[in-house]
Structure 1
Amino acid sequence: MAGEAPELKAWQPGVHGVLEVLHARFQQHSYPMHAHESWTLMLLDAGVVRYHLGRHEHGVLTSMVTLLPPGVPHDGRAAGPDGFRKRVIYLSESQFSPGLVDAARRTPSLDDPFMHRRVHQLNVALSRRTEDLEAASRLALIRERLETALGGTVANLEHRSSLAHDLRDLLDGSVVEGIALETAAQTLHSHPTHLVRAFTREFGMPPHQYLTGRRVEKARHLLLSGEPPARAAVLAGFYDQSHLARHFRRMLGTTPGRFRTARA
């Protein structure tokens, strides 16, 4: 339909390295040639997109993950009459090694189902706006896979068996307030990706899942002591009662309210 307004949702999630998130549907819009100062990580959810990058034309299908490098002009347009729908995460320039720019210019789109699923999961975590540690952990693993897939270099850090336990101690000491992945990495003198992998290998779950479990445990104790769900949620480190309820139901099969009323 001529003149149809695009559907847009954009926000700054406050996760280290993530500058902006944009979810949009365009019926007719065509982007003119332009460049970003950031990396552009995109999933196409509907339609087909054609674009020029580095004097070459490329196409994007819904099965692909696209990474456009900073400073390289590109355009974009729908390849059919029904437009396109996309999810874009703009990442700071420091998130990838400088050597990846040329590789991403040559091969900006990858047909990688595993990475596609991971980028989708990152978008879900960012959309909730309450799962910063999960988002940072997922971004670290995506960053490593993209570096490897596109021929960049990822620091080969030596694995230390105590690293996972050191991170667990940090998480245990900040159950309510939480800790940013970058802060934990700096504290432990490690790389964020290596930190996530070491923890997951040692404990069979990523750091964000461990922290959520500890918060649910704390909320259980608070509920059993008589605290109402809304207050227990905040005291346990959740954003609000619905945030607690989502995780509580997944872990315990019931709601915080029912759990509280069932206490002996």
Structure 2
Amino acid sequence: MSGRATVRAWRPRLAGVVEVLHAHFPSHAYPSHTHDAWTVLIVDEGAVRYDLDRHEHGLAQAQVSLLPPHVPHDGRSVPPEGFRKRVLYLAPDRLGTDLIGAAVDQPEYVDPLLRHRIHQLHGVLRDGKEDLEAQSRLSLIEERLDQHLRKQVGNTPPRHDAGIASQLRELLDENIRDGITLDDAAKLVHAHPAHLVRAFSREFGMPPHRYLTGRRVDLARRYLLDGRPAAEVATLSGFYDQSHLTRHFRKMLGVTPTRFVAPR
């Protein structure tokens, strides 16, 4: 890696994520500072050293780092060529304040599944068009982080399941066009969002966001066969725009919406 530092930061539409940061720093070193958010950090190239609450830590590409809010930390590259990182900044109430001490004691995790889920969420947030998928992926990430933290303090929250998968499917079917947030669905069926995603995936063999996308494609097919133009169909069936519809339509059916109804 070489050249100038490059940074891209934005605030996604995803509730609970106050900022996303993608950055390449050839030589930058952070002075000691704090955030008012939980910092979920992965390194894609290079490695990072940092002090957290006056204790030195290291972060390599196979790890995930979770830095708690309001605790001082700095950051610097280990190799001379710098590092590339991706960061999610989570609102402070997304993980319990009672878990800050556990995060200070152990801020890094070697957890390939957690890292992969974070990587997937970054991809969804970069696209910016899959709200329910982003909500589902964030919920599973937060659940995994919560499990790591509570394992350190010996406190595992209870879980329950009372046919919630079918209740969620009914909610999705009732809101194909407008959708429903995972948090709202969880409140309606009285279940934790992550548990709701897991229960639905076990019951129906796919996560809720994929089910909803399939229902929207089905709805789009009906409108297309009615003779409506693709741009209108995208809006009527709940897609962000025509390109969003086309991407999912082609992925599911192998052709674009226009070719689906083209004369043969």
Indicate the TM-score class for this superposition, using the shorter chain for normalisation. Answer: over 0.9
Once the two structures are TM-superposed, the CA of residue 218 in structure 1 deviates from its matched residue by: 0.8
Distance in 2 between the 1:86 and 1:169 partners? 40
Q: What secondary structure sits across from 2:97 in the alignment?
A: coil
Partner of 2:75: 76
Q: Cα distance, 1:154 vs. partner?
A: 5.0
Corresponding position of 1:134: 133
1:154 to 1:254, Cα distance in 2 relative to 1, 3 A: farther
Q: Partner residue of 2:55?
A: 56
Task: Kindly provide the CA deviation profile for residues 51-77 of structure 1, in whole angstroms up to 9, marking residues without a partner as x.
Answer: 000211111111111111111110011
Partner of 1:182: 183
Structure 2, unaligned runs of 5 or more: none
**Could you say which residue in structure 2 is the equivalent of 1:158?**
160
SS at match of 1:157: coil
Aligned pairs, number: 261
Does the aligned pair in 2 maintain the 1:144–1:154 contact within 8 Å? Answer: no
Paired residue type of 1:222: Y
Letter in 1 for 2:162: R
Letter in 2 for 1:54: D
Q: Unaligned stretches of 5+ in structure 1?
A: none
> Distance in 1 between the 2:8 and 2:248 partners?
25
Match in the other structure for 1:8: 7
Partner residue, 2:39: 40
Higher mean displacement: 245-254 or 45-54:
245-254
Q: CA deviation at 1:149?
A: 2.2
Distance in 1 (alpha carbons) for counterparts of 2:62 and 2:238: 37
TM-score normalized by the length of structure 1: 0.94
- Structure 2 counterpart of 1:251, which letter? M
2:217 counterpart of 1:206: no
In the alignment, is the contact (CA less than 8 A) between 1:141 and 1:193 conserved in 2?
yes
User: Against the structure 1 CA distance between its residues 68 and 143, is the aligned structure 2 distance closer, same or farther, given a 3 Å change threshold?
Assistant: same
Q: CA deviation at 1:99?
A: 2.9
User: Given that residues 16 and 182 in structure 1 are in contact (C-alpha distance below 8 angstroms), is that contact kept between their aligned partners in structure 2?
Assistant: no
- Aligned CA-pair RMSD: 1.7
Residue identity matched to 1:144: E
Normalization by structure 2: what TM-score?
A: 0.94
* Percentage of identical aligned residues: 53
Alignment match, 1:116: 115
* 8 A Cα contact 2:43 2:83, kept in partner: yes
Change in CA separation of 1:69 and 1:88 when aligned onto 2, cut-off 3 Å: same
Q: Secondary structure at the match of 1:99?
A: helix
Aligned to 1:86: 85
Q: Which residue of 2 aligns with 1:239?
A: 240
- Partners of 1:226 and 1:155 in 2: CA distance: 52
